[in-house]
Structure 1
Amino acid sequence: MVRLRADLDRCRGAGQCVFTAPDLFDQDDAAGLVVVLDPAPGPDRQPLAARAADACPNRALTLSPD
């Protein structure tokens, strides 16, 4: 199992995570910061979560073993 985490201090609301994996991420209405919708994506969603983390220009997302 892996855990998907977002560092809101690093997030700048670029939205690349939402464009890459809209079923895993959203953006809040106040500042446009990332909201993790599924912090424990299943094995079938982990490659997409990793692509979204790689797409983040501020490196605000991490996918790590739980």
Structure 2
Amino acid sequence: MVSIAVDLNRCQGYAQCAFLAPEIFTMHGDEALLYDPDPDEAHREKLAQAAAACPVQAILVDAVDEPAEAVPGGR
């Protein structure tokens, strides 16, 4: 599972994230960023690209590990 957070105080509305990962990020007006804090795992690569492209590094991607008992073969 992937979770993300955006530092909205740091975000300047450049919209690079919305351009690269529109499934996760959208701009509301000129400056308000809306985003899905728990995006689908299938969007991981686009999310990584969007986070890397943020000029002010406002996007934090935090991969959350599943509990071991939920992983096949886990301990």
TM-score normalized by the length of structure 2: 0.75
Q: Is the 8 A contact 1:3 1:39 kept in 2?
A: yes
Q: Give the aligned CA root-mean-square deviation in angstroms.
A: 1.3
| Structure 2 spans left out of the alignment, 5+ residues | 65-75
CA distance in 2, matches of 1:42, 1:19: 17
| Secondary structure of the corresponding residue to residue 44 of structure 1 | helix
Tell whether the 8 Å contact from 1:10 to 1:58 is kept in structure 2 after alignment: yes
- What secondary structure is seen at the aligned counterpart in 2 of 1:45? helix
Residues matched between the structures, number: 64
4+ aligned runs moved over 4 Å, structure 1? none
Answer 1 or 2: which has greater helix percent: 2
Larger Rg: 2
Q: Over residues 16-56 of structure 1, what are the superposed CA-to-partner deviations in whole Å (9 max), with x where a residue is unaligned?
A: 00110111101122x513211x2112221111111000010
Q: Once the two structures are aligned, what percentage of the paired residues are identical?
A: 36
Q: What are structure 1's unaligned runs of at least 5 residues?
A: none
